[in-house]
């Protein structure tokens, strides 16, 4: 079955299992106590968990899909990993699903996989571990079409840690229960730590009844998917393609939208600039374009200049 499945279905099925293993590594590093923190820049730490989880993900996916371009947040990785970090199996339940016709003939050279091995590193180091996600985004040519969002510290009803959410455009989503945000309110989720004057001007333009400040692009999009917020706004150039590829694919597979603050989708081919210079606006409703035009024009023109 696996050998005959379309490439995109095998990449998704492998990424589901690999994200779970990376989540285990992230929990193990925290349990050991020495996070091995290195500062990459202001509010941008890197830990041993980031480095190890990325090695696990890229080594595993490279071995299975040598013709696919993979770009990770932490740069080049040593692919000589222990057997315990090399994920060989695929998610059989996902492989049973029918591949959407538009992706059936996509070839390995059409794909780019964007990896954020630990989204929400600052929160991880500060003890807000529920904000942490593993993100594996799958682009076909320019478009984000598939994504995995794994939560290493999500506690299941039986006490088991970890939850894996997936989305594939044309197929749908899995791993969670979709809920709508409360009617009669307008809740925005936004950054905990990367605000500036332009971003605040954009926030002030919305009649928000509540603002949820959380860490990580993956966790912010989960607020939308689970009905805790109506929109996600980040009106400043801070996040990167590995932050948004997977969340965009999952959200849009559920019928939502993730664009820049001018309403344009980002491109995810291998040659694009990694920085999302025009910020992020995401929503779950049909009024996405209305939200774009609520952001003052001077903000939309100034962000990324």
Catalytic hit among 18, 47, 91, 121: 121
Residue 121 to residue 109: CA distance in whole angstroms? 31
Please say if 50 is a catalytic residue: yes
The answer to whether 116 is a known ligand-binding residue is: yes
The answer to whether 243 is a known ligand-binding residue is: yes
Residues contacting residue 292 through CB under 8 Å, at least 6 positions apart: 259, 261, 262, 263, 281, 300
Helices (H), 173-240: 197-204, 217-225
Residue 67 to residue 153: CA distance in whole angstroms? 32
Catalytic hit among 50, 173, 189, 259: 50
CA 74 from centre of chain: 15
Please say if 121 is a catalytic residue: yes
Which among 233, 231, 186, 191 has a CA at the least distance from the CA of 207? Answer: 186
The answer to whether 79 is a known ligand-binding residue is: no
What are the φ and ψ backbone dihedral angles of 240, each rounded to 5 degrees? -120, 175
Residue 183 to residue 191: CA distance in whole angstroms? 23
The answer to whether 119 is a known ligand-binding residue is: yes
Which among 235, 211, 241, 236 has a CA at the least distance from the CA of 69? Answer: 241
Residue 132 to residue 25: CA distance in whole angstroms? 13
The answer to whether 225 is a known ligand-binding residue is: no
Q: Residue positions in the annotated binding site for Mg(2+)?
A: 73, 116, 118-119, 243
Residues carrying an active site annotation: 50, 121
Q: Residue positions in the annotated binding site?
A: 73, 116, 118-119, 243
């Amino acid at each position: 079955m696996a050998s005959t499945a379309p490439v995109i279905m095998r990449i998704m099925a492998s990424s589901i299992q690999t994200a779970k293993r990376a989540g285990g590594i992230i929990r193990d590093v925290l349990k050991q106590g020495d996070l091995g923190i290195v500062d990459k820049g202001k509010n941008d730490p890197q830990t041993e968990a980031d480095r190890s989880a990325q090695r696990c993900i890229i080594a595993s996916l490279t071995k299975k899909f040598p013709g696919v371009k993979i770009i990770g947040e932490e740069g080049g990785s040593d692919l000589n990993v222990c057997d315990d970090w090399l994920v060989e199996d695929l998610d059989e339940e996902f492989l049973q699903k029918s591949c959407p016709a538009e992706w059936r003939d996509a070839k390995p050279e059409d794909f780019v996989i964007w990896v954020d091995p630990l989204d929400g590193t600052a929160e991880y180091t500060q003890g807000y571990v529920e904000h942490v996600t593993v993100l594996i985004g799958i682009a076909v040519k320019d478009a984000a079409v598939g994504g995995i969002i794994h939560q290493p510290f999500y506690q299941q009803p039986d006490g088991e840690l970890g939850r894996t959410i997936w989305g594939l455009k044309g197929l749908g989503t899995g791993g969670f229960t979709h809920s709508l945000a409360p009617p009669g309110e307008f809740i925005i989720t936004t950054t905990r730590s990367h605000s500036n004057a332009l971003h605040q001007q954009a926030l002030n333009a919305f009649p928000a009844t509540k603002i949820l400040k959380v860490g990580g692009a993956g966790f912010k999009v989960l607020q939308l998917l689970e009905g805790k917020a109506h929109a996600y706004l980040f009106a400043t150039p801070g996040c990167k393609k590995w932050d948004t590829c997977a969340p965009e694919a999952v959200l849009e597979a559920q019928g939502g939208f993730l664009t820049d603050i001018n309403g344009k989708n980002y491109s995810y081919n291998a040659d694009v600039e990694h920085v999302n210079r025009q910020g992020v606006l995401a929503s779950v409703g049909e009024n996405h374009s209305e939200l774009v035009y609520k952001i003052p024009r001077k903000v939309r023109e100034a962000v990324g200049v």
